[in-house]
Amino acid sequence: MASSPRPSPPDPPELLTAPGLPGALALSTEAGWNQVLGDWQRVQALWPQGCFCLHAGGVVVSTTAAITYDTRLAWIGMVLTRKDCRGQGFARRLLEHALGFLDAAQVECVKLDATDFGRPVYQKAGFHDERPVSRWLRRKSALSTRPPRMENWLDTNLQETDRKVFGVNRARLVDHLAESGGVFALPGQGYAIVRPGRAALHFGPCVAETHYDAKEIVGGVINRHGREDIVWDLADDNEGAVRLAMESGFQRTRKLMRMYRGRPSPELAHHPKIYALAGFEFG
């Protein structure tokens, strides 16, 4: 398939609205990311004032999302530029625009998960290294014969369970993810959400009170979805999560650096009970 012609210089940064989402999806697909259209719709629906893009010749060529949980914490995600437009400062331009938006909202700490390619750009924008995070992949295989502890898991208070360990309220995100995916929960002990992806199911977020609870949840996910590829994002210094991923047949495929800007808040979005991240775009 022939590539699109190289677009003209971009227009000023603007909000990414619903008509531009197919173009944004084309960028994440070109980059080999796992997002589907529903992921873009989620970000745009929950944070419409924080989704930014550059158009050139009527085509979306670069995107960035500023995901605000409250004034204590925000996340930068969906940072993409069309391959034939890279090296022209498009991502840096949108990053500056997004940070200006967050500074105006008086957000104390901004975090993101950076690739090796993007890390120097973020360092110049005032971000500092916090900890490595990584993506793990389990290739599809025969279903496990071990049944989950519960046939139909349901937790009526996912939001509160999540808030206690994540550190800020991301109830809207948790609700939206739960509606679009499958929830595996042990009431009062933990939960996980599995949602569709372009190339693999996405496992996460996952919060568990104990390693045993996490093992039960992961086992239930594999029992139900073992015939599909599954990806799992986690913090590398969570030794329990790393061990469980390895024991469950996952292998590390990508490594990124979690970075922060503003007031250092290492306790936010990081807790030993967080066994899986919601994703590199959400924390």
Render each residue's pLDDT in the chain as its tens digit; 283 residues: 445 555 566 789 999 999 999 999 999 999 999 999 999 999 999 999 999 999 998 999 999 999 999 999 999 999 999 999 999 999 999 999 999 999 999 999 999 999 999 999 999 999 999 999 999 999 998 655 554 443 344 445 788 889 999 999 999 999 999 988 889 988 888 999 999 999 999 999 999 999 999 999 999 999 999 999 999 999 999 999 999 999 999 999 999 999 999 998 888 999 999 999 999 999 9
Strands 201-208 and 230-235: parallel
pLDDT at 264: 86
User: Residue 6: inside a domain, yes or no?
Assistant: no
User: Residue 175: inside a domain, yes or no?
Assistant: yes
**Threshold 0.85, pTM exceeds:** yes
User: Residue 75: inside a domain, yes or no?
Assistant: yes
What domain range is 155 assigned to? 134-276
User: Residue 70: inside a domain, yes or no?
Assistant: yes
Strand partners, 146: none
Query: What is the number of domains present in the chain?
Result: 2
Residue 268 and residue 139 share a domain: yes
What's the pLDDT tens digit per position in 229-252? 999 999 999 999 999 999 999 999
Residue ending a domain, choose from 63, 92, 107: 107
Tell me the CB-side half-sphere exposure of residue 110, using CA atoms within 13 A.
26
- The CATH number of whichever domain residue 84 belongs to comes to 3.40.630.30
User: Residue 165: inside a domain, yes or no?
Assistant: yes
Residue 249 and residue 174 share a domain: yes
- The CATH number of whichever domain residue 189 belongs to comes to 3.40.630.90
User: Residue 283: inside a domain, yes or no?
Assistant: no
User: Residue 113: inside a domain, yes or no?
Assistant: no
Residue 73 and residue 24 share a domain: yes
pLDDT at 151: 35
What DSSP state is assigned to residue 203? Answer: E
Residue 100 and residue 140 share a domain: no
Tell me the CB-side half-sphere exposure of residue 206, using CA atoms within 13 A.
32
Distance between CA atoms of residues 136 and 245, nearest Å: 8
